[in-house]
């Protein structure tokens, strides 16, 4: 009986090892199997021409009460605040923000999220609370609802994936036109997005800003959590990379990893993708602007971190912790944050802190945008 039990234990151990090996080798394939829609892409009907005149098409907009607008949340500091005063402590200038939310739709039944999907839209509001709130000193914040591409669209080489992203972008582009129409022509604008939102923001910069008079109104652009090729993307986006705090009219971008970092899946996908110039991005340098220095220095100690937004388990609440993480841009264009900080259960494999790209540097971003808008205003 004892021998049979030992055989059983050995068999279980072998099975567990085999499963772990399978998960390690084919993790991406299994994830794709779970998230990539099997159906053919179905072209969605265009939104009505005046769709974004409806306040219901915006998660955040100037007419929304502050306590109902997730982007207007101001987290408190943990304990007694010890950081130095920042521009957020002074009266902010007028500026308008257009924020494009990241992917929240995981369903594989559609390539694009239908408007009104409760699970996806509830998660968007959580994301906005943590990611759009650093811009809460703006005189106007606009965050559009759009029929985002499902998560599986990023995990396949099938043409349907790009078709889904193109469809989502058309909604964003339409929302952006409505944002511009509702914003006074003398008001500086700040453009921001995370992950899928950053990808759409890059396209907006290329299509709607680069080489156009509108470029002069952009106080800053934050394309966070999506790799921007310095060689193949940035020249087409019409704005330079930020190289100093308080520099107006530039692009901030970073993707956060704790150490030891294993970015292989991200870098492999990046290498295979095509840049705005029609050339494969390959091993071209990725834009990394340090959010603790405003791009002035590639390396910064934790002492420069004015406040990391440490969330609760559901990402719906949190408090600011001063000096929580450092930041340094490495040779690959990744932003490394040292030892893995305790931020919650949504850290991705490889010590990828993608979900926390903005919360890690919440207070610095709040200060950064005000510095850039103030500089833009002073220059005019």
Contact 319, 76 (CB under 8 A): yes
Q: What confidence tier does 40 reach under pLDDT thresholds 50, 70, 90? A: confident
pLDDT digits (tens, 9 = 90+) for 49-92: 999 999 999 999 999 999 999 999 999 998 755 444 444 455 67
Q: Residue 272: its pLDDT value, please?
A: 95
Q: Residue 235: its pLDDT value, please?
A: 98
Q: Residue 289: its pLDDT value, please?
A: 98
Cβ neighbors of 121 (< 8 A, separation 6 or more) are: 59, 104, 145
Tell me the C-alpha distance between 265 and 160, whole Å: 21
In the 8-state DSSP scheme, what is residue 92? P
How do beta strands 189-194 and 96-100 pair? parallel
Q: How far apart are the first and last CA of the chain?
A: 86
**Verdict on whether the full-model pTM lies above 0.75:** yes
User: Which of 340, 314, 303, 194 is CA-nearest to residue 253?
Assistant: 194
- Whether 15 shows a pLDDT value over 60: the answer reads no
- Whether 153 shows a pLDDT value over 80: the answer reads yes
- Whether 9 shows a pLDDT value over 70: the answer reads no
- Whether 33 shows a pLDDT value over 90: the answer reads no
> With left for phi above 0 and alpha for psi between -120 and 50, is residue 343 left, alpha or beta?
alpha
User: Which of 363, 295, 306, 286 is CA-nearest to residue 328?
Assistant: 295
Tell me the C-alpha distance between 178 and 173, whole Å: 9
Cβ neighbors of 137 (< 8 A, separation 6 or more) are: 88, 92, 366, 369, 370
Q: Residue 28: its pLDDT value, please?
A: 52
pLDDT digits (tens, 9 = 90+) for 295-313: 999 999 999 999 999 998 7
Return mean pLDDT, the chain.
89
Q: What confidence tier does 343 reach under pLDDT thresholds 50, 70, 90? A: very high
By mean pLDDT, which of 13-17, 73-77, 297-301, 321-325 is the weakest?
A: 13-17
Domain ranges (residues) in the chain: 31-378
CA torsion 68→361→226→212, rounded to 10°?
Answer: 70
Contact 86, 366 (CB under 8 A): yes
Helix H or strand E segment including 27: helix 2-35
Phi, psi of 78 (to 5 degrees): -75, 125
What DSSP assignment string belongs to 126-159? HHHHHHTGGGTTSSEEEEE---PBPGGGGS--SH
């Amino acid at each position: 009986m004892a021998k049979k039990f030992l055989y059983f234990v050995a068999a279980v151990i072998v099975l567990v090892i085999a499963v772990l090996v399978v998960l390690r080798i084919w993790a991406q394939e299994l994830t794709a199997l779970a998230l990539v829609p099997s159906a053919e892409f179905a072209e969605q009907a265009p939104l009505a021409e005046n769709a974004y005149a409806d306040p219901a098409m915006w998660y955040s907009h100037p007419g929304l009460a502050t306590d109902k607008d997730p982007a207007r949340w101001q987290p408190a500091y943990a304990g007694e605040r010890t950081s130095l005063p920042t521009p957020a402590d002074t009266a902010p200038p007028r500026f308008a923000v257009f924020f494009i939310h990241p992917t929240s739709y995981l369903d594989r039944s559609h390539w694009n999220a239908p408007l009104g999907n409760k699970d996806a839209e509830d998660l968007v509001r959580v994301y906005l609370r943590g990611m759009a709130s650093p811009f809460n000193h703006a005189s106007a914040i606009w965050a559009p609802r759009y029929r985002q591409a499902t998560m599986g669209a990023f995990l396949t080489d099938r043409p349907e994936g790009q078709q889904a992203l193109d469809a989502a972008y058309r909604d964003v582009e339409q929302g952006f036109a409505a944002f511009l129409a509702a914003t006074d022509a003398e008001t500086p604008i700040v453009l921001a997005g995370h992950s899928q939102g950053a990808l759409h923001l890059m396209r907006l910069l290329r299509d709607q800003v680069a080489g156009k008079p509108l470029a002069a109104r952009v106080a800053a652009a934050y394309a966070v959590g999506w790799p921007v090729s310095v060689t193949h993307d940035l020249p087409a986006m019409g704005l330079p990379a930020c190289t100093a705090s308080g520099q107006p009219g530039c692009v901030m971008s970073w993707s956060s990893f704790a150490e030891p970092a294993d970015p292989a899946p991200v870098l492999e996908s990046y290498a295979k993708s095509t840049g705005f110039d029609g050339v494969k991005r390959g091993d071209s340098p990725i834009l990394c602007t340090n959010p603790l220095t405003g791009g002035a220095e590639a390396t910064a100690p934790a002492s420069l971190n004015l406040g990391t937004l440490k969330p609760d388990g559901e990402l719906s609440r949190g408090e600011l912790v001063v000096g929580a993480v450092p930041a340094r841009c490495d040779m690959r264009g990744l932003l490394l944050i040292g030892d893995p900080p305790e931020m919650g259960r949504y850290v991705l494999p490889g010590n990828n802190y993608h979900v926390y790209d903005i919360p890690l540097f919440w207070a610095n971003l709040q200060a950064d945008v005000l510095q850039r808008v103030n500089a833009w205003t002073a220059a005019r």
